[in-house]
Amino acid sequence: MGDMRRTTLGRTGISVSRYCLGTMMLGAWGNADHADAARLVHAALDAGINFVDTADMYSDGESEEIVGKAVRDRRDEVVLGTKVFFPMGQDPNMGGSSRRWIRRAVEDSLRRLGTDRIDLYQVHRPDPRTDIDETLSVLSDLVREGKVLAIGCSDFGAEQIVEARWTAERRGHVPFHTEQPPYSIFVRGIEKAVLPTAQRYGMGVLTWSPLASGWLTGRYRRETGIELNAFRQIVSHKFDESLPGNQRKLDVVEELLKLAAEAGLSLTHLALGFVLSHPAVSSMIIGPRTVEQLDDLVAAADVRLSDDVLDRIDELVPPGTDLNPSDIDKVLPHFADARLRRLSPAERGA
């Protein structure tokens, strides 16, 4: 077993590694070789990572199947998280956060994972169609039945976290134990309200995309250009060089490369150290595709950034700001589409 720093996940009492293995790219979306993907999971466990995060929608359930097989013989040492919300079929009821869907989705996830309990079951996105009371009610039932041990939310705004906490207290439901937001040097908006709110309620925070979709590896630079492959076309707003925010990212990458070199670090290690430096962050999701990438990421586990380095980062990307606002993919439809702004929630289908 490797040496990996641990912390407690919020107030759950569950001990988790500061790194969490994200498995979105295991399966058809990334590595379709199940044996090779299992080797990556085993290497992470051997490195001391005991926290693994997946979701039902990753490769249409294939990621859960890979993870389930990989951890089966070591299930008791793994804190296993998965998520529910995104569509898993054409039927409008095969998705969302309704009691009807969650009841079915959790059984599907348990079957694919080959386990009798999910350590952390998370609502993948806010669901404007479902009352949070309904969602917390069914999740609380699952906790009391032992099928789920802790519950969390992902990409919830501070006001949605507060509403969920108020509802749980008022209705006698189990409250969300965790929040899973995007967080990196380039995406710092959650520092304004989400992280302080999570701290106020003692919630665990597991962050995703610490390398900002690869930007903070130094892979994308002005002189090399950015080729829009299949993945980057799906999230072209994060890579389109015509957007001022992405031009700004190209400029800041150069400054960060200099700063990392002065600190004796790679840009990747600087970026990982930044995320774990925030006191609200319990664990950081990493998404390596290969064991070699995993080894490099794990090598940053002991990085501690000095106050001087953190101050320099703040000068480049002010606290609480998102360098490219288009990177944030949880913008409500009535803000993104001007035609919807004056419609009632019922008229716009919320």
At residue 158, what is the residue type? A
Question: Strand 283-286 vs strand 19-22: parallel, antiparallel, or unpaired?
Answer: parallel
At residue 133, what is the residue type? D
Whether 148 contacts 103, CB under 8 Å: no
Pick the most confident of 28-37, 45-54, 340-349.
45-54
The residues assigned a catalytic role are 58
pLDDT digits (tens, 9 = 90+) for 277-294: 999 999 999 999 999 999
Quick one: tokens of 177?
């134990």
Enter the pTM of the model.
Answer: 0.92
Model confidence at 324: pLDDT above 60: yes
Whether 85 contacts 125, CB under 8 Å: yes
Share of residues in the chain with pLDDT > 90 (%): 82
CATH superfamily of 6-218+269-321: NADP-dependent oxidoreductase domain (3.20.20.100)
Q: Where are the domains of the chain?
A: 6-218+269-321
At residue 287, what is the residue type? G
Q: Lowest-confidence range among 44-48, 136-140, 241-245?
A: 241-245
Closest by CA to 64, choosing from 19, 13, 100, 115, is: 115
pLDDT digits (tens, 9 = 90+) for 149-196: 999 999 999 999 999 999 999 999 999 999 999 999 999 999 999 999
Q: Lowest-confidence range among 7-21, 65-79, 314-328?
A: 314-328
Confidence category of residue 333, pLDDT binned at 50, 70, 90: very low
pLDDT digits (tens, 9 = 90+) for 89-109: 999 999 999 999 999 999 999
